[in-house]
Amino acid sequence: MAVKISKVDVWAGPIVDEPGGLAAKLRAVAKAGAKLEFLVARRAPDKPGKGVVFIAPLKPGKQARAGAEVGLAKAKGMHSLRLSLPDKAGLGARITRALADANINLRGLSAAAIGKQCVVYFAFDTAAAANKAAKILKKTLAGR
């Protein structure tokens, strides 16, 4: 599998920190046909009883409307990239070092390796940073 870098819209919204709080959001987008590739949910330690969920992708139309109906929206000010490639020891260190050396600050990073494949989601504060990061990642990973 080749290295694949793509821009992605991450959707976010509040969840109630109780049994079923997350399930309600996911059920709504699932009923609309969403096939999620990315999901992060966590409590908001500074807001007792509240949490936040981040998901991707939601397609325009039915899926986006379903997300909006349950309080999800495209994450404002979050410019995201999805990187998929074969996993390799030290990959996380290599790509984060390349971004740091290019003076690119990460807003967030989530990654998982399953078998021999790896998927990384990056979040940046600006579109310019995401575009610069995509170029750096392509150069860094060329000819792995």
Whether the predicted pLDDT of 98 surpasses 70:
yes
The model carries a pTM of: 0.89
Q: Say which residues have a Cβ less than 8 Å from residue 54's Cβ, sequence separation at least 6.
A: 10, 11, 12, 38, 39, 40, 41, 75
Report the amino acid identity of residue 51.
Answer: G
pLDDT in tens, 120-131: 999 999 999 999
pLDDT in tens, 23-68: 999 999 999 999 999 999 999 888 889 999 999 999 999 999 999 9
Res 144: pLDDT = 59
Average pLDDT over residues 75-80: 92
Q: Say which residues have a Cβ less than 8 Å from residue 34's Cβ, sequence separation at least 6.
A: 55, 57, 58, 59, 63, 66, 67
Whether the predicted pLDDT of 112 surpasses 90:
yes
Tokens of 27: 């059920």
Res 2: pLDDT = 87
3-state secondary structure of 89: coil
Report the amino acid identity of residue 4.
Answer: K
Cα separation, 23 vs 28, whole angstroms:
9
Q: Give the side-chain half-sphere CA count within 13 A for 54.
A: 19
